[in-house]
């Protein structure tokens, strides 16, 4: 029986690439989308036209009860979740001087609280079955910080603290918990940045001189979800073209 992989925020550039990669490896792929997303059905049709039979469920990842309802439905209809990719995230970039409590809260809830909300629903089952993978998608800016991103950087750094602590708790149960920290990836969001900004501000920071590809990040996720990665847990793997080394 195919294992079930659940990717939060899987309809974006990076999440979509992860869904495609996992499907190619034989996983039953489930993604979540915001209840306010009116284009979810269109995305599913586009993916079906390309030969991908994804499953998608509305879920507010910042809300614990919504996450519980979503995972309960997935388990009932498709089976228990074996691989969880906590990918959903948002930005509300501005200097700390201008940042409001609302700007802070919405980023923390969507980017960090969501990791608890989703992982809590699947972890007991993974432990009971003696196999599971949790992969948390952080950011290079959670490692080095970024101007105008105190909220985002804090949330993304917090994800790895969560990873390390939980990995210690479940490491003897056949469950691994890891973080990946992508740098600038050529998603639609990044490609919307004006070319002059990319050329003058972003690319000069990257030793490889280019943006990463979503497929490259998806390949790393697929590895961490595999049997071969069973000895990797509590790690934070950078995938940033050399932008930040430590």
Checking if the pLDDT of 55 tops 80, the result is yes
Residue 232 corresponds to which tokens in the numbers above? 């990797």
pLDDT given at position 190: 85
Average pLDDT, the chain: 96
* pLDDT beyond 80 at 52: yes
3-state secondary structure of 182: strand
Residue ranges of domains in the chain, CATH in brackets: 4-239 (3.40.50.720)
d(C-alpha 25, C-alpha 8), whole Å: 18
Termini Cα distance of the chain: 40
Q: Does the active-site annotation cover 33? A: no
Confidence of residue 110 (pLDDT cuts 50, 70, 90): very high
Selected catalytic residue, list 27, 33, 57, 152? 152
Of all residues in the chain, what percent carry a pLDDT higher than 90?
Answer: 93
Least confident among 44-53, 102-111, 176-185, 187-196: 187-196
User: In Å, how far are 14, 46, 55, 239 from 183, measured between CA atoms?
Assistant: 12, 27, 28, 6
pTM to 2 decimal places: 0.96
Q: Which of 76-80, 195-199, 235-239 has the lowest mean pLDDT?
A: 195-199
HEC profile for 112-167? Answer: HHHHHHHHHHHHHHHHHHCCEEEEEECCHHHHHCCCCCHHHHHHHHHHHHHHHHHH
């Amino acid at each position: 029986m195919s294992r079930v992989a659940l990717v939060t925020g899987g309809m974006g550039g990076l999440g979509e690439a992860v869904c495609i990669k996992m499907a190619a490896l034989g996983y039953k792929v489930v993604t979540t989308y915001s209840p306010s997303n009116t284009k979810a059905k269109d995305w599913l049709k586009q993916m079906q036209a390309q030969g991908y039979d994804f499953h998608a469920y509305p879920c507010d990842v910042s809300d614990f009860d919504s996450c519980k309802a979503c995972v309960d439905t997935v388990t009932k209809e498709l089976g228990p979740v074996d691989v969880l990719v906590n990918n959903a995230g948002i930005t509300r970039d501005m200097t700390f001087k201008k940042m409001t409590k609302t700007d802070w809260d919405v980023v923390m809830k969507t980017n960090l609280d969501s990791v608890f909300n989703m992982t809590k629903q699947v972890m007991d089952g993974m432990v009971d079955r003696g196999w599971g993978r949790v992969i948390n998608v952080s950011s290079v800016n959670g490692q080095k910080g970024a101007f105008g991103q105190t909220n985002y950087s804090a949330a993304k750094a917090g994800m790895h603290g969560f990873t390390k602590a939980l990995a210690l708790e479940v490491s003897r149960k056949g469950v691994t918990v890891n973080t990946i920290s992508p740098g600038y990836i050529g998603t639609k969001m990044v490609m919307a940045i004006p070319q002059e900004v990319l050329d003058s501000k972003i690319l000069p920071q990257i030793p490889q001189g280019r943006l990463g590809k979503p497929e490259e990040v998806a390949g790393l996720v697929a590895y961490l979800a595999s049997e071969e990665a069973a000895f990797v847990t509590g790690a934070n793997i950078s995938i940033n073209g050399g932008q930040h080394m430590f």
